[in-house]
Structure 1
């Protein structure tokens, strides 16, 4: 895989900043935080990918500089903005490696919003401009952090309903309740890999293979952490038309006589499929299998459809009542809902099952675009801001403090107010807090140097990330 030209991976306006910083600037120190957003806490995950893929080793060369110069002259239409000598200095002085230090909290750490997650600073005074030049690329860590956070919040919901309705034995399979169906809805293969691996921090079910590839390539996962099963799609189940649907269903069971197999069953009439085909014609074959048939509806209102399907299946296949008093289908039959699944719809689905006396363990979920694509940088209000600088040898605490008008026309400080000074993140009796480096000297900084002068100095395995993020 050929690395992108890092010289071109910045917002265009940043190429003028080396001239716009006040003369005598020697150090720019910036930090990353989640300023708020949808969730009260954020899973920090994904920086290691960006460090290894884009920043590690020799990243500036004369050949890349030639390419960048041609492009940037076209972009600006003038020669006094892009200054080639700034990059030549790094090539000649540092061998093309980045004179940058990045500190970050351990990957997988769950941190309340409005706390520092990462800091970045230049290690060569001549390269003060480089710190925030890298903001554009490094800010994209918002994406895996947000997907990992969303996935984890959904796991909280699932655990809540499992605690209320599921048998203790069912908890062993909770990591397979939310399955990643998002590859086709992702904006790119890279997005699918980054976001898909972020979901795997919390769950093990996934059809997004690039997620496993990324986990193995950048986080030392020894085997693919995302697992899947044989499953049909409508092109399989509609091949013989409506009159041939039963024949195809039987062919599917014959093809995989053991193990778990999922079959989309709404090609024509999901209720007929459950009652007449699965629940009558193929009932004995299903119950005699050493494995589970997972029936998949794929249209209609999820709550209404699922309640009707479970009523049919329990009438046809029978059920047991677990120790919490909720109905459970035989282990040979389960249901997967993969249509209309989102953070907002999931609680209503499980609440409806609970109200109907149906255990959550009967249902698994597939989530696509709402998992990998329906998020953005503002979901968790990510920002990277300068907090400290040195100019002519003098340290300066840097801060933005914008005002905004409230509904009554009164001025108030915006939530976009940034932090000032060199920062540290501490764990104070189990609660993460952000201080300046001179405050609370008895509390250890949990930000660790992960990158320095072109080298990744600390890395995490995928298993370590999973353990750190675990509920």
Structure 2
């Protein structure tokens, strides 16, 4: 029986791809394919290609990989292009003879524009651009979708702070990643949580910190931060009658000048916790500890719960009115809502809070499944399609245009991305590129070599950090 290697790039594809090399027309030499998000509610924040190249395309394919792949694929009932893969190893040292062009990571692009384009550099391997579709498209759609959702949430929070707070200095800490345990795999956490950090600097996904160092040159600088926080087990371990003591212990352990800590407070009765414990028996301790208590509701309708929590805290601790005319709790008490948060519920909660007269600066959000897991390829209709082929030295456009679904119509020709005279991004044919125009697609990978190695810091700046 064969043993399988998850790092075998030949097996990192869909089964039907193994039979495609004999399906192209005779004389095929070059195939050009592109990736786009065809539609969606968010602008695209492009991210993740560099991680994929470093992790999967920087190690050459070997004869051992070919032997293993042949065993698996033939036992699977399919044909295997052994001669083609052996030629790739012998002629190119196992590195893929491809040119991958893409927009700079962190770029913000409207949907329905090319963000990545792939073409083979050796005519013997006309079948290769489409062979890597499975791995390459997945490597781009997931982190780019998470980065896009996160960026959309950032725009909502920014607008709220601009309207209701004296400044927006805290913006990069207003959406915290709670998604590590809810993601489908550790690699999903690495890519998705890191994509969130393109926009924000708060996470509880430590895997993202490792990923930043591994793929985006953040081995010296810390890209994100967190604070000590309670979970239900550390509170309920004290028993219902010991909740006050549990809360007091949090102040003792983590209070202090300039310090912040979060305490989940809905183990039994959130309103009792606010009215009678935080705002009652422990009120003076909270006021005098020198740091910031962040109370965390963790159940119920986010908008209703956050609004009522703010109103009750305002009764107990008072508020001031900022220059924008909105109420602000004392610096030593805030709220973080980390349950049931999606782009939609976040927006609704902020609206409710502000309509109640409170500044958005009173609340921080934590997003878990809504950030890392409740997205799929259809969220932004991602696709990779072949758009041009060279046969016997002649290029021709190829495309799909299903009569049953015009939304799946694909683009034609080798493509370029440019800014038009109105400074709007537009996808055009490369052959139509004006001499003075700047093609925003740049070479990232050619024949096994990575040409662009951006740091997370640079990517953040592109995304409007």
Residue 419, structure 1, aligned to residue 411, structure 2: yes
Q: Which residue of 1 aligns with 2:322?
A: 322
Query: Shift in Å at residue 29 of structure 1?
Result: 0.6
Task: Note the 1:57-72 alignment, pairs <5 A.
Answer: 57-58=59-60, 60-72=61-73
Deviations 1:239-267 (A, max 9, x none): 12110000111011001122100000000
Show the counterpart of 1:431: 424
Moved more, 233-242 or 413-422: 413-422
Task: Indicate yes or no: 2:377 matched with 1:380.
Answer: no
Contact in 2 for aligned 1:3/1:53 (Cα 8 Å): no
Q: Residue 36 of structure 1 aligns with which residue? A: 39
- Asked whether the equivalents of residues 102 and 444 of structure 2 are also in contact (C-alpha less than 8 Å), the reply is yes
Among 430, 434, 440, the alignment partner of 1:446 is: 440
How far apart are residue 392 of structure 1 and its match? 1.4
Which stretch has the larger CA shift, 66-75 or 328-337? 66-75
Shift of 1:129: 0.6
Structure 1 runs not aligned, ≥5 long: 405-412
1:137-188, Cα deviation, whole Å (9 max, x unpaired): 00011000000000000011111111121122xx111111100000000000
Residue 325 of structure 1 aligns to a residue whose secondary structure is: coil
TM, length-normalised to structure 2: 0.96
* Matches for 1:228-267 after TM superposition, within 5 Å: 228-258=226-256, 259-267=259-267
Could you tell me how far apart the structure 1 residues matched to 2:302 and 2:62 are? 55
**Residues 1:402 and 2:399 are matched in the alignment:** no
Is the Cα–Cα contact under 8 Å of residues 416 and 433 in structure 2 kept in the other structure? no
| Alignment check: 8 A CA contact 2:255 2:261 kept | no
Aligned partner of 1:467 in structure 2 is 461
Paired with 1:438 and 1:98, the residues of 2 have a C-alpha distance of 26
Give deviations 1:166-213, integer Å, cap 9, x for gaps.
Answer: 122xx1111111000000000000000100000000011100111121
Aligned to 1:206: 203
Aligned equivalents of 1:46, 1:240: Cα separation in 2? 44
Out of 21, 26, 37, the position equivalent to 2:24 is 21
Match of 2:361 in 1: 361
Q: TM-score, normalised by structure 1?
A: 0.95
Secondary structure at the counterpart of residue 403 of structure 1: coil
Q: Secondary structure at the match of 2:428?
A: strand
Matches within 5 A, 1:25-174: 25-39=28-42, 41-58=43-60, 60-76=61-77, 81-140=79-138, 141-168=140-167, 171-174=168-171
Contact 1:295 1:336 in 2 (8 A): yes
The offset of 1:3, in angstroms, is 6.8
Using the TM superposition, give the Cα deviation of residue 65 of structure 1 relative to its aligned residue in structure 2, in angstroms: 1.1
Superposed CA RMSD: 1.2
Partner Cα separation in structure 1 for residue 418 and residue 391 of structure 2: 28
Give the distance between the partners of 1:459 and 1:45, measured in 2 at CA: 13
Residue 330 of structure 2: SS of its match in structure 1? Answer: coil
Range that drifts further, 302-311 or 261-270: 302-311
